[in-house]
């Protein structure tokens, strides 16, 4: 675990870069680029998590491999702000080196092990997408975004298709018997990384404020409470109960693929977007609300709640209604902001989002008083 925690430090930097990128380009093009880059960052981290789930991270070969992956990840993170500009090749090259290099090492090391088949198929997908990543960086312009989106589509389709390749066959989730508790713990740590970025943004925004007005301090307090409520929704019993379920479910590979590999994406993305909204609220608490600010302040929490509802559904088999109600309230607040932007400044929208998250956390606490067979009452 210590080497994995050391590896995670690179992604603390990457999350910071992504939130700053979105803040600087809060328009349709900026949002699309940030989404694409976030998916790439998550995929690089998640495949490393699958690797350490199967292989001992303290083995000298894997430790060296993770060290190389850290270096590539650091270059990738450093290139994020200009990934659709002069440092496109830096980003693409680092990403390809990380994905292909790590998978190649494990494919060779595990060639005699049954899981080696899966890693060889994964390697084929990464090599195929690598051509698209490098070509997109070389061409630039609109073609870059298209080719990179196709590259991600290739990679993200792999687990759903069982990495089917002509002449190489395919695998199924039953071939991916994993340590479910380890997978759950690693994803919980990434959520903590994202929440840490949220708190960092909150603190830096207050520290850099030119004059500490009452409104700015109020926005700071609201942002902090929003982060606490987000933590509470994710970690209060749900995370622990999900970890126990993941450790004992029959098809651990299927649960690892759906609940953790895919469904954690909207939760992490929602936290990043919410952090951008917090920074805007602290900097401009009573300014006229803009579409971008409203999207960050309300869309981030809504995205997180939607992801968490899917997570509960995937792990426990039921849909938490309070999260759906919360999303509805956030959507209504967004509609009001669109119709009458002068009535709902950023501080008010931030307060609404925090109240919604707090209400979801509170109703979870009330529900937990009822008996539950799976550790989480429907």
pLDDT digits (tens, 9 = 90+) for 304-361: 999 999 999 999 999 999 999 999 999 999 999 988 877 899 999 999 999 999 999 9
Most confident of the ranges 174-183, 224-233, 333-342: 224-233
Question: pTM here?
Answer: 0.93
Residue 226 has a pLDDT of 96
Q: What is the pLDDT of residues 3-36, one digit of tens each?
A: 888 999 999 999 999 999 999 999 999 999 999 9
DSSP 165: B
pLDDT score of 373 more than 60: no
The answer to whether the CB of 110 falls within 8 A of the CB of 139 is no
| Of the candidate ranges 166-180, 241-255, 348-362, the one whose mean pLDDT is the lowest | 166-180
Q: What is the pLDDT of residues 124-136, one digit of tens each?
A: 999 999 999 999 9
Give the integer Cα–Cα distance in Å for 115 and 109.
11
1 falls in which pLDDT band (50, 70, 90)? low
Average pLDDT on 158-165 reads 90
Residue 368 has a pLDDT of 62
Q: What is the pLDDT of residues 78-113, one digit of tens each?
A: 999 999 999 999 999 999 999 999 999 999 988 878
Q: What DSSP string describes 23-51? A: HHT-SHHHHHHHHHHHHHHHHHHHHHHHH
Which residue's structure tokens are 């929490």? 301
Alpha carbon 170 to its chain centroid, in Å, reads: 27
The answer to whether the CB of 353 falls within 8 A of the CB of 223 is no
* Residue ranges per structural domain of the chain: 2-171, 180-367
pLDDT score of 139 more than 70: yes
Closest Cα partner for 107 from 99, 184, 161?
A: 99
Q: What average pLDDT is seen over the chain?
A: 91
| Torsion over CA: 24, 29, 33, 38 (sign) | positive
pLDDT score of 75 more than 80: yes
The answer to whether the CB of 355 falls within 8 A of the CB of 333 is no
Give the integer Cα–Cα distance in Å for 238 and 240.
6
Residue 171 has a pLDDT of 86
Average pLDDT on 252-256 reads 91
Q: What is the pLDDT of residues 281-290, one digit of tens each?
A: 999 999 999 9
């Amino acid at each position: 675990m210590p080497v994995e925690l050391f590896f995670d430090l690179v992604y603390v930097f990457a999350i910071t870069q992504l939130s700053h990128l979105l803040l600087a380009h809060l328009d349709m093009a900026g949002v699309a680029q940030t989404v694409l880059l976030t998916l790439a960052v998550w995929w690089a981290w998640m495949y490393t998590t699958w690797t350490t789930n199967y292989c001992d991270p303290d083995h000298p070969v894997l430790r060296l491999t993770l060290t190389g992956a850290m270096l590539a990840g650091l270059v990738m993170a450093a290139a994020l702000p200009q990934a659709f500009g002069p440092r496109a090749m830096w980003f693409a090259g680092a990403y390809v080196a990380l994905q292909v290099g790590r998978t190649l090492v494990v494919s060779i090391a595990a060639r005699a092990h049954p899981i080696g088949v899966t890693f060889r198929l994964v390697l084929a997908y990464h090599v195929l997408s690598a051509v698209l990543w490098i070509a997109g960086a070389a061409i630039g312009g609109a073609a870059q975004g298209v080719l990179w989106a196709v590259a991600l589509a290739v990679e993200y389709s792999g687990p759903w298709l069982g990495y089917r390749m002509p002449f190489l066959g395919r695998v199924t989730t039953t071939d991916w018997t994993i340590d479910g508790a380890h997978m759950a713990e690693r994803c919980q740590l990434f959520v903590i990384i994202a929440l840490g970025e949220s708190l960092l943004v909150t603190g830096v925004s207050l520290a850099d404020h030119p004059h500490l007005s009452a409104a700015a301090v109020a926005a700071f307090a609201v942002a902090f409470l929003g982060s606490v409520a987000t933590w509470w929704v994710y970690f209060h019993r749900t995370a622990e109960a999900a970890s126990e379920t993941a450790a004992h479910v029959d098809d651990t590979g299927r649960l690892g693929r759906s609940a953790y590999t895919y469904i954690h994406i909207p939760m992490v993305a929602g936290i990043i977007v919410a952090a951008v909204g917090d920074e805007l609220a602290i900097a401009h608490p009573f300014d006229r609300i803009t579409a971008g600010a409203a999207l960050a302040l309300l869309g981030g929490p809504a995205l997180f709640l939607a992801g968490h509802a899917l997570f509960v559904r995937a792990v426990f088999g039921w849909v938490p209604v309070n999260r759906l109600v919360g999303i509805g309230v956030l959507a209504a607040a967004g509609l009001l902001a669109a119709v009458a932007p002068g009535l709902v400044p950023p501080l008010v929208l931030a307060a609404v989002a925090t109240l919604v998250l707090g209400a979801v956390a509170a109703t979870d606490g009330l529900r937990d008083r009822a008996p539950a067979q799976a550790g989480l009452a429907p």
